[in-house]
Amino acid sequence: MSVIAPNFKLSSFIKSLLDNIFWILLLLVLIGIPLVFMVLFVIPLPVIDGELLTPFLALSWIADPSRTLPIIQAFLETDIFRVMAFPGFGFAALLAAGTIFAERKMMAKIQLRVGPFYCGKFEGILQLMGDGLKLISKEIIIPAKADKPIFWAAPVMFVAAAAAFVALIPVAPGWVVADVDLGLLAVFAVIGFFPIITILSAWSANSKYPFIGGIRALFQMVSFEIPLILSLLGVVILTGSLNLSEIAASQSNFPWIIFLPVGAIVFFITMLAELERIPFDLPEAESEIVAGWLTELSGMMYGLVQLGSYLKLYAFAGLFVVLFLGGWNGPMVVPSFPMELIENGIEMGPITLKISGLAPLLSEVITQEMLNGTLWFVLKTVGVIFFIILPRGVFPRIRVDMLLDLGWSKLIGLAFVNIFIALGLLYAGVLGPGGLQ
């Protein structure tokens, strides 16, 4: 059996390579550089050698790398960076992507399957990228009798609400997109949008299965939001604050889950219901109503809802960490940057590399406390996410009457028990002024 070699021509290969280089340079000149200038006009640029850096001189870092670090520092201090990169949408989307892949592999292991395997040389690591490209390339099909403006807007509103939720979660000391004094009330307000968006999406599809799933989602979210809110009042009573950063900072000595385990359990159960995770996945229920309120969504509209769902999962896990597990607090494990290295430079044979420009960047923006706090927050959040996705592999779906009974009777009762525990600890002097704090 003979194998015919492909008709390879060096000239064709060089031509295709030059074509790619041409298009990359064209896009860089027409899109990349204008975008960079737009960002430079928005961020406050630093003063270098007594002269305010202008957007036009900012690109001189290519010829003068000493300007690079002050520009990076100025960019890290902007709201654009916090919203788009860290600790906002980009950071949350990265953790959400890792959660999707880890969940698929973990469910496969629990159910004795392989899971994602072929896309990527290591355990199907590129499967998520492949699925994303598939959803982007798929046709978006709109039902003929759908209310098209609302149907189009629902996935975008879902992602926007999830992003607003993410913006309220503090990751490290001083690192939060929206540090609101009434941050916990803002969380409740944002969570209240999800049932509205869900029922609007289900109704606008003008289809039976989405509408049944939407009604289920509305019943479920409304019945579990009340015990969810009540379960957090114990933390508010003991801290005396609704600011999430202050609540996290108040747990420098011990996490609140030690004194309020009932509230933590109630919040965790209601969190599963708000996320529509098994055993509370009645709004989707693939074996009963196809995919519930997601049935008519296709292409990237479905992809946006999935992205919003996992952003919401990250935000709820981060909220649990901030309220009950101490937030960013933890032992100092990140070593401090040696100042001798900054002052004396790095010796590389006959050359000494001076990095004195790195000192303000480390001291003012990327501090040791920020790195250590981020590390502990991520580790705790990943642990909570693990326990959120674990029931999917071990629990069955419960009936809707059991779900409503659990939300309206048992969990509300336990939430009041948690409030009485918090009041008892406060008035007994165990916590609060003169107590353990």
pLDDT in tens, 124-136: 777 777 777 777 7
**Which amino acid is located at 343 in the chain?**
E
Q: Three-class SS of residue 2?
A: coil
Contact 230, 305 (CB under 8 A): no
Contacts (Cβ under 8 Å, ≥6 apart) of 70: 46, 48, 53, 357, 360
On the question of pLDDT at 230 being above 70, the answer is yes
Cis peptide before 87 (omega within 30 of 0): yes
In DSSP notation, 226-258 reads HHHHHHTHHHHHHH----HHHHHHTTSSS-GGG
Token duo for residue 346: 């790095």
> In whole angstroms, how far apart are CA 296 and each of 140, 418, 429?
10, 41, 56
Contact 295, 219 (CB under 8 A): no
Query: For the segment 207-224, what is each residue's pLDDT rounded down to a tens digit?
Result: 888 888 887 888 788 788
On the question of pLDDT at 41 being above 50, the answer is yes
Contact 361, 243 (CB under 8 A): no
Q: Which residue has the tokens 């003169």?
A: 434
Strand 47-48 to 346-348 pairing: unpaired
What pLDDT sits at residue 313? 92
Residue ranges per structural domain of the chain: 89-109+135-330+367-427
Whole-angstrom distance, CA of residue 338 vs CA of residue 269:
45
Token duo for residue 309: 């769902």
> In whole angstroms, how far apart are CA 314 and each of 18, 43, 76, 377, 415?
43, 29, 23, 12, 23
- Stretch (H or E) spanning 386: helix 368-389
> In whole angstroms, how far apart are CA 371 and each of 85, 267, 358, 362?
15, 28, 16, 10
Whole-angstrom distance, CA of residue 283 vs CA of residue 155:
16
Higher pLDDT residue, 23 or 1?
23
Contact 275, 316 (CB under 8 A): yes
Highest mean pLDDT among 30-44, 156-170, 282-296: 156-170
**Which amino acid is located at 325 in the chain?**
L
On the question of pLDDT at 316 being above 90, the answer is yes
> In whole angstroms, how far apart are CA 351 and each of 63, 68, 354, 355, 358?
20, 21, 9, 13, 18
What pLDDT sits at residue 339? 57
Highest mean pLDDT among 293-297, 339-343, 375-379: 375-379
- Return the CA Rg of the chain: 26
On the question of pLDDT at 351 being above 80, the answer is no
On the question of pLDDT at 400 being above 80, the answer is no
Contacts (Cβ under 8 Å, ≥6 apart) of 429: 435
What pLDDT sits at residue 1? 46
Query: For the residues 262-280, what does the mean pLDDT come to?
Result: 88
Which stretches does DSSP call E strand in 19-172?
Answer: 47-48, 51-52
pTM to 2 decimals?
Answer: 0.81
> In whole angstroms, how far apart are CA 396 and each of 23, 278, 393?
52, 7, 9
